[in-house]
Amino acid sequence: SDSSLPTYVLVHYLTWLSIFPLVKTYLKRGSFFVYYYHASSGGFQLASLLRLLGLATQEPVQIKDIYCRDLPHGQLWNFRHLAFRACSAQLKRIECITKTCLPFLGSSERLFYSVSVRKAWEAWLEPLLLLRRTGKYLAHEKDLPLEQVVLISPFAPLIEFLELGQNSAEEIAVTSQPFRNKVLLYLLGAFWLSLWRLISKWASLLVKLFTFSAPLNKESQNVGIEAAWHLSPPDCPNECALDDLFWWRESTIPPERIRYFYDRQDIQPTAGRLKLTSSLGIQSTLLDPRFCGDAPELLLKKPKPHKTVRSLFYDLWLSGRLLHRGFFSDELSRSVISIIHWYYIKSEGLADIYKSLGIRALFYVNEGGFDVFSLAAKSADAIRIGFQWTCLLGIDNVSARSHDVFFFWGQHDAKTALDSGSISKHMLVSGCFLTGRSNSQAIGEAQSVVSDFRKRGVDYVLAIFDTSSVTPNFYRFLLQWLVEDPKLGLLIKSKGKRPWEVLKNWNQSVDDRFGEILQRARDTQRIHLVPSDASPGDVALAADFTVGVGSISSTAVAALQGARVFFVDYERLDQGPQNPYTIFHSLGINRCIFYDLETLKREVLKYAVNPKSNPHLGDASPILHRLDSFCDSGASRRIAEYVEWYMAGLDRGLGKDEATLSATRKYAEKWGKDKVVRGF
């Protein structure tokens, strides 16, 4: 490092704990500039102190976007594949450590833990690798050698023991801050939790206190569904594309056997949601006291541990043993031990809840990182059932499925899951449930808007599907095109609940002048923001073409419903390790896939003048059978039918494994053995 040059420090999590690596950086390099990705209130206090003492040169600057989905150097999916390869190379070692720590596990259970640890590492690595890339581009932007930029992260040890170029001259330095890989938090937290569970069990036995709120019949066998999305009203069951109860609405399972539970910050019980579930006869429960919404009275009292005192003593002894082993192991082993230790104990707490609610089949949307929900379901003598709700561009920390049962749209995504190392015992093809959730009101609104566009002289309408991260360059190009071209109309289907003001502020945080171009575009009266709960397919059918970026899910759904579709692939995924999964690319470039918007615009204008110049523009029909093996609107009913067969098996006295196998066999008999990817 050259002391005459400025030093830039990127901090993954700016907290009071960041003081140690920051002071070390000052002693080695002198004063520095601070950029942060996440920060706590204590982190801001630390930054002010460092500024006062002269260690930091200026106030910290927030890193607004690390994904850069609308720039060629973003490379998000290639980084995900790199994380997958690096973590997969350690699977055998993870499995050996798991066998030593949890010797009572069978081979399939050890594999479950190994893949879940791998997924946890992948989830931690993704922002770390993207921040390291951000640091490289910061050095390039400031015209500095890479030695002048440092990244501080609690997950820095992953870079070293996964051999991801920590000492490479082509990468910036990455240094650690407490708590390294959450090791200490996980080890001590698991030990305390196991001790508390034992004390709680003793207390419940001594005072004979039933601590759960509404005791259920011990023979009740219910289906648990997490509140994660929307709820459609009973008189319009397809109003919301993503409806938590979509499959149940097609089933014969009585509502009294459904346990609809809230445990998320973003989806809390509101008066409106509770009125809807009540009208359906479904019981709602609140699991997390932090997210009570409008119904704190629904909070489930903490159930007593379902394990025996003897088993809880064993868990406490095991926790002490793993705590000791974790402190005296190498960095990689310590990380593995802490993860399996924490989630083994945490899963038992969730299992207590599932047991108290009588849950025998669990639907839970979260799929990234360690699969604690499937682990808890196993302990509660239940199964976890999952279904594909998004189409992936390749392998990532979600694509490896570990549910007991998982439903895919078609063979394409099933192949991605298999190549990712999925360990689900029952993998089935159901078709895409989203194509069956068409909202006539949304279609009518979109068609009315487009009709108004046509009256204003519009010749071609594009439906825009954005993604969960900012894409100011993508939007700026389209908005500028709209302002300059009176024959263009835009329908904006933004991901999430983003009114115009939110959309403006969100992108303006990265692009200072975004608000200006957005207002000019809105003044044309040829741009319309579609409601967030509308289906991509409904919006697409009103437009001439769709344009997607970042996530290909909306593009796939629109294509399955007959729309002409485009996707802007800034990363050029077909030229990297994710090539085997680039299904739209297989049709050829500049048909459905474009590397840049300039080429896309040129092809649209040519088509508008003469459709015969490129008759297959946007046509994805040759690959639809690979995306959806059924290409009908019956996916919801197929999933519902499977759950009915499983629950009927339980009612006949079968164990969960026998009931699952029975349901899979019936599925194969009805829909064909080729629709069962794994399960016999």
In this structure, what token pair is assigned to residue 103?
Answer: 């010797």
| Nearest residue to 251 via CA among 637, 530, 567, 620 | 637
- Is 154 in contact with 178 (CB distance < 8 Å)? yes
Helix (H, G, I), strand (E, B) or coil at 527: strand
Separation between Cα atoms, residue 680 and residue 678, nearest integer Å: 6
In this structure, what token pair is assigned to residue 68?
Answer: 């850069």
Average pLDDT over residues 453-475: 94
| Nearest residue to 286 via CA among 375, 214, 377 | 214
**Would you say residue 215 has pLDDT above 60?**
no
pLDDT given for residue 206 in this prediction: 83
**179 cis-preceded (ω within 30 degrees of 0):** yes
Least confident of 109-118, 207-216, 624-633: 207-216
**Would you say residue 2 has pLDDT above 90?**
no
Q: Is beta strand 405-408 parallel, antiparallel or unpaired with respect to 593-594?
A: unpaired
pLDDT given for residue 370 in this prediction: 97
pLDDT tens by residue, 620-654: 999 999 999 999 999 999 999 999 999 999 999 99
CB proximity list for 393: less than 8 A, separation 6 or greater: 77, 551, 552, 573, 578, 581, 582
pLDDT tens by residue, 216-267: 455 489 999 999 999 999 888 888 889 999 999 999 999 999 999 999 999 9
CB proximity list for 557: less than 8 A, separation 6 or greater: 391, 432, 434, 435, 535, 536, 537, 540
In this structure, what token pair is assigned to residue 174?
Answer: 């990455």
- Is 133 in contact with 2 (CB distance < 8 Å)? no
Least confident of 284-298, 512-526, 635-649: 512-526
pLDDT given for residue 208 in this prediction: 65
CA angle 537–541–546, rounded 5-degree value? 75
In this structure, what token pair is assigned to residue 324?
Answer: 């000791």
pLDDT given for residue 603 in this prediction: 97
Q: What is the pTM of this model?
A: 0.94
Separation between Cα atoms, residue 422 and residue 256, nearest integer Å: 33
**Would you say residue 497 has pLDDT above 70?**
no
Confidence of residue 116 (pLDDT cuts 50, 70, 90): very high
E strands in 354-497: 359-363, 383-387, 405-408, 426-429, 460-465, 488-493
| Nearest residue to 667 via CA among 627, 639, 634 | 639
Give me the DSSP letters along 353-369: HHHHTTEEEEE----SS
pLDDT given for residue 207 in this prediction: 74
pLDDT given for residue 507 in this prediction: 75
pLDDT given for residue 496 in this prediction: 67
Give me the DSSP letters along 29-63: H-SEEEEEEEE-HHHHHHHHHHHHHTSBSSS-EE-
In this structure, what token pair is assigned to residue 474?
Answer: 């993508």
**Would you say residue 138 has pLDDT above 90?**
yes
Q: What does DSSP assign to residue 296?
A: G
**Would you say residue 422 has pLDDT above 50?**
yes
292 CB burial (10 A radius; 0-12, 13-18, 19+): middle
Confidence of residue 360 (pLDDT cuts 50, 70, 90): very high
Separation between Cα atoms, residue 318 and residue 199, nearest integer Å: 16
Mark residue 381 as left, alpha or beta (left: phi above 0; alpha: psi -120 to 50; beta: remaining). left
Helices in 485-528 by DSSP H: which ranges? Answer: 500-508, 514-523
Confidence of residue 396 (pLDDT cuts 50, 70, 90): very high
Instruction: Indicate the angle between helix axes 41-53 and 19-29, nearest 10 degrees.
Output: 20
Q: What is the dihedral of CA 644, 650, 653, 656, to 10 degrees?
A: 130
**Would you say residue 211 has pLDDT above 60?**
no
**Would you say residue 372 has pLDDT above 60?**
yes
**Would you say residue 373 has pLDDT above 90?**
yes
pLDDT tens by residue, 171-205: 999 999 998 889 999 999 999 999 999 999 998 88
Separation between Cα atoms, residue 645 and residue 635, nearest integer Å: 16
Separation between Cα atoms, residue 34 and residue 20, nearest integer Å: 14
Q: What is the dihedral of CA 453, 454, 457, 463, to 10 degrees?
A: 50
Residue indicated by tokens 């036995």: 205
Confidence of residue 487 (pLDDT cuts 50, 70, 90): very high
Confidence of residue 440 (pLDDT cuts 50, 70, 90): confident
Extract long-range pairs of 399-406: CB within 8 Å, 24+ residues apart.
400/115, 400/118, 400/119, 401/367, 401/427, 402/112, 402/115, 402/116, 402/119, 402/371, 402/374, 403/371, 403/374, 404/374, 404/377, 404/378, 404/660, 405/642, 405/646, 405/660, 405/664
pLDDT tens by residue, 37-74: 999 999 999 999 999 999 999 999 999 999 999 999 99
Q: Is beta strand 460-465 parallel, antiparallel or unpaired with respect to 488-493?
A: parallel
pLDDT tens by residue, 259-274: 999 999 999 999 999 9
Separation between Cα atoms, residue 337 and residue 324, nearest integer Å: 10
CA angle 174–176–178, rounded 5-degree value? 160
How large a percentage of the chain has pLDDT more than 90?
Answer: 86
pLDDT tens by residue, 525-535: 999 998 877 88
Helix (H, G, I), strand (E, B) or coil at 551: coil
Helices in 509-634 by DSSP H: which ranges? Answer: 514-523, 536-540, 553-560, 597-609, 624-627
Separation between Cα atoms, residue 292 and residue 267, nearest integer Å: 10
Give me the DSSP letters along 183-240: HHHHHHHHHHHHHHHHHHHHHHHHHT---SSSPPPTT--EEEEE--SB---TT-TTSS
- Is 401 in contact with 424 (CB distance < 8 Å)? yes
CA-only gyration radius of the chain, Å: 26
